[in-house]
Chains A and B, each alone.
Chain A
Amino acid sequence: MTAHTAARHPAARDIEARDIAAPGVRIRDLTVVYKTPSGELPAVRGVDLTLAPGTITGVVGESGSGKSTLALSLLNAVQPPGRIAAGTVEIDGLGDVLTLRGEDLRRARGSQVGYVFQAAQNSLNPLKTIGKQLLDLGRSHDVADLRALVRDAKDLLARMGMDGARVLDSYQHELSGGMRQRVGIMLALALNAKVVVLDEPTTALDMITQATILRIIREVHEERGLTTLVITHDVGAVAEVADSLAVMYGGRVVEHGPVTEVLGDAHHPYTQGLIRAIPRLTGDLSLARALPGRPPTLGTLPTQGCVFRERCERRLEVCETDEPMAVNRDGRTVACHATDRHLTLVKRKEFV
């Protein structure tokens, strides 16, 4: 089992890293609400999302779509005034994370589920060297062989193209954004966590560093046999790194499927709009069209009907009253009345 592997001998860990299958993650009916002056409002509502073992799932969405809240839910770490109101997050070998409390939850964080912050945010203690923070991490999780932990961390840093000994001896302010991000990845993986959540891993990095970080994520993911969730607003980054893609809007997953299919043949009008909004490197810039309107905030989110209808060009009457159900067809999930009807029509035509 993967439980507390960190405490065992490092050699044993390496073998396990290769042999143990990556865990699957199943998010079911997850609802997260935030307390506001006008009552508790849902930032994530009724989300079902399955992360297949050993895959990278990308979650894209505009600011306020609930993607970061979803990411924090995987560690049962939604910060007040937020609260997980309903749902389950099952991780193989760990159970429902949302029922974990106290010490069990603390031990699961870091050792089983790793979390990588955005590079621009200061996720490291400015007053301690990276190495000392690594030791704090090891001591917190009762790692018996701290030397091995440091050795592994150096190897991992070297694997990501850095001088491990020197980085461990540095303070946060002595590292560049790309270096900090790699340190963040190292700290998330140091205890051999098998599920890794990356929140905006390439935001605020320059293009070259972005490409490097994406390549590292992909390679480390494969070498260590991880199940990875990448949260981003950058469709391009997700296209490069992810196996499957979930599109969030107004706290719902509106479309989910293999990344090539979702980007190549988007069904949901929001996904289509999102793809149209990406400027191409070659060709006319005016071809890129921004989505009309603004993304909803917690306060402006419609309480009934489809959350996207205000900005949707294929709006139907039923969108005003009924929330579209997520329909799964051939490994793709879409929550849209128009698409649903369209597909039904196509199918009907085929039968006629």
Chain B
Amino acid sequence: MLKLKYINAATVVALLILSPKSAYAMHIMEGFLPFSWCAFWYVVSLPFMIYGVIMVKKLTRDNTKLKLLLGLCGAFVFVLSAMKIPSVMGSSSHPTGVGLGAILFGPSVMTVLGGIALLFQGLLLAHGGPSTYGANVFSMAIAGPMVSYFLFNLLKYANAPMWFAVFMASVLGDLATYVVTSFQLSLAFPSESGGLTVSFIKFLTIFAVTQIPIAVGEGILIVLVHNYLTANSAEELKALAGEET
């Protein structure tokens, strides 16, 4: 029992020391989910993906330029997620791009773009992997963008200041991703004593250390980006929003 305590303490220390240095957005790594859960999340994500593809097809049917633009947007989301946000601890972390993408492109198109960005994160950066792809798509390209999008529109509808709407949409989009990932992990690995709830709280606390600062950092960044964009490229934003609806 003593040995176990020692291992647990070492684990926490290791998590604290190592994770902020390489705090990537919340991917579930390749191989972490048992086969049945991999399949389950693929099945859950599939209808959203299909809906997204139908939307993209509709949008690009007689607008070839928009198709090119969406392809470039996918690259934009990827590059954004590969950047490092400066953080207070002197370490760095990566934004998810979920919030900005959802505000700019809407949730259904973001599902497709996010899915493509996730694929390349696997192929080019070795983050995530094919077996956990379904689960990662659900948390980062479906749940996150939806929360961001609805929150952004709700706050805009309630006449909240623009910066506040953007900030909350971005932060809560990130946090939604993190909560969903924790939930996915606790479903696959329920605690022997206490089951789902206990392990859900456990994963939430472990990831809170890295994810809450990332979310706030990304929120600040996205507010700045959104300010610059509204000041300098109002037309482009209008074009995207117009083609969206």
Do A and B share a complex? Answer: no
Chain B positions within 8 Å of A, measured between CB atoms, are none
Interface residues of A (CB under 8 A from B): none
